[in-house]
Amino acid sequence: DAKTTQPNSMESNEEEPVHLPCNHSTISGTDYIHWYRQLPSQGPEYVIHGLTSNVNNRMASLAIAEDRKSSTLILHRATLRDAAVYYCILRDSPIIQGAQKLVFGQGTRLTINP
Amino acid sequence: DSGVTQTPKHLITATGQRVTLRCSPRSGDLSVYWYQQSLDQGLQFLIHYYNGEERAKGNILERFSAQQFPDLHSELNLSSLELGDSALYFCASSPPSRREGATQYFGPGTRLLVL
């Protein structure tokens, strides 16, 4: 599984934008970039995913570098509820046996200050 | 609420014992995954079932086994428990796969404490 590198922790203030970086220099052409987050005392939850183009949904935006070796998850206006561990995960084509599993790294622990 | 249910929420048992964790996937999801989250190892994939068949195995110990039943619920059996098996166990389900990988929906987890 291709590896991702994220900062261990980040801190931001409520109602400000947050940019969470992820490096994935060994990404392959078939790898999709997925983000999940885990709120305190809960199971992980899906945030967003993309392949090459930037993506937006109601939770966040995903900006993918042109060479795809890095990406950034953007929370446009952080709230206290966004305090969580954010995981950047590369997922290979599901055609490959076993590719459906999620391989979690250490993630980034995001703290939001009131 | 993800729609995935897990029972029990908490489990306290002794070393050497055997326990069964239960997971009910979201309605319509055929895939069930089990993950273990411990303080030192983080979140680790254990096993994946699709429509009753085992599809992939991760770092699952031989003392652990799982199955998925015809009604699609799944059970994770942990036997000869050791102190190091204390962890959070998550179940996730997903709809049929897409090219980019189907979203996994996680349950609230079962917290296992082995004393």
Computed over every residue of chain B, the mean pLDDT equals 93
Q: Are residues B48 and A98, on separate chains, in Cβ contact within 8 Å? A: yes
Q: Are residues A32 and B100, on separate chains, in Cβ contact within 8 Å? A: yes
In this prediction, residue A95 carries a pLDDT of: 57
Strands B74-78 and B19-24: antiparallel
Decide if B61 touches A, using CB distance below 8 A: no
- Torsion (CA) A96, A46, A17, A66 in degrees, nearest 10: 10
Residue B54 C-alpha from the chain's centroid: 13
Q: Kindly state the DSSP code that residue A57 receives in the 8-state scheme.
A: -
User: Which of the residues A101, A104, A106, A108 would you substitute to probe the B interface, choosing the one with the greatest number of B C-beta atoms within 10 Å?
Assistant: A101
How many degrees, rounded to 5, is the angle at CA B99 between CA A72 and CA A4? Answer: 35
Chain B residue with the nearest C-alpha to that of A104: B43
In this prediction, residue B23 carries a pLDDT of: 98
- SS3 of B5-68: the string is EEECCEEEECCCCCEEEEEECCCCCCEEEEEEEECCCEEEEEEEEECCEEEEECCCCCCEEEEE
Q: Measure CB to CB from residue A91 to each of B31, B92, B100 and give the nearest one.
A: B100
In this prediction, residue A27 carries a pLDDT of: 92
Q: Are residues A98 and B98, on separate chains, in Cβ contact within 8 Å? A: no
SS3 of A29, please?
Answer: coil
Instruction: Say which residue, B30 or B6, is predicted with more confidence.
Output: B6
User: Which of the residues A100, A106, A109 would you substitute to probe the B interface, choosing the one with the greatest number of B C-beta atoms within 10 Å?
Assistant: A100
Residue B6 clears pLDDT 60, i.e. is over it: yes
Computed over every residue of chain A, the mean pLDDT equals 91
Q: Work out the burial of residue B27: count CB atoms within 10 Å of its CB; fewer than 13 is exposed, 13-18 middle, 19 or more buried.
A: exposed
> What would the mean pLDDT of A74-90 be, rounded to a whole number?
96
> What would the mean pLDDT of A82-89 be, rounded to a whole number?
96
Q: Looking at CA atoms only, how far is residue A15 from chain B in angstroms? A: 25
B1: Cβ contacts below 8 Å, ≥ 6 apart: none
Chain B residues closer than 8 Å to A46 by CB: 103-105
Q: Report how far residue B16's alpha carbon sits from residue B82's, in angstroms, rounded to the nearest whole number.
A: 7
In this prediction, residue B82 carries a pLDDT of: 97
In this prediction, residue A93 carries a pLDDT of: 62
In this prediction, residue A11 carries a pLDDT of: 97
Residue B100 clears pLDDT 80, i.e. is over it: no
Q: Convert the pLDDT of each residue in A27-76 to its tens digit.
A: 988 889 999 999 999 999 999 999 999 999 999 999 999 999 999 999 99
Chain A residues closer than 8 Å to B31 by CB: 100
A47: Cβ contacts below 8 Å, ≥ 6 apart: A35, A36, A37, A59, A60, A73, A86
Chain A residues closer than 8 Å to B2 by CB: 43, 45
Residue type, B79: S
Q: How confident is the model at residue B63 (pLDDT cuts 50, 70, 90)?
A: very high
Q: Report how far residue A23's alpha carbon sits from residue A92's, in angstroms, rounded to the nearest whole number.
A: 16
Decide if B93 touches A, using CB distance below 8 A: no
In this prediction, residue A1 carries a pLDDT of: 60
In this prediction, residue A30 carries a pLDDT of: 84
> What would the mean pLDDT of A7-26 be, rounded to a whole number?
96
In this prediction, residue B77 carries a pLDDT of: 98
Question: Radius of gyration (Cα) for chain A, nearest Å?
Answer: 14
Residue B113 clears pLDDT 90, i.e. is over it: yes
> What would the mean pLDDT of A64-93 be, rounded to a whole number?
94
> What would the mean pLDDT of B45-54 be, rounded to a whole number?
93
In this prediction, residue A108 carries a pLDDT of: 98
Chain B residue with the nearest C-alpha to that of A49: B100
* Spatial contact of A92 and A103, defined as CB atoms under 8 Å apart: no
Residue type, B16: G
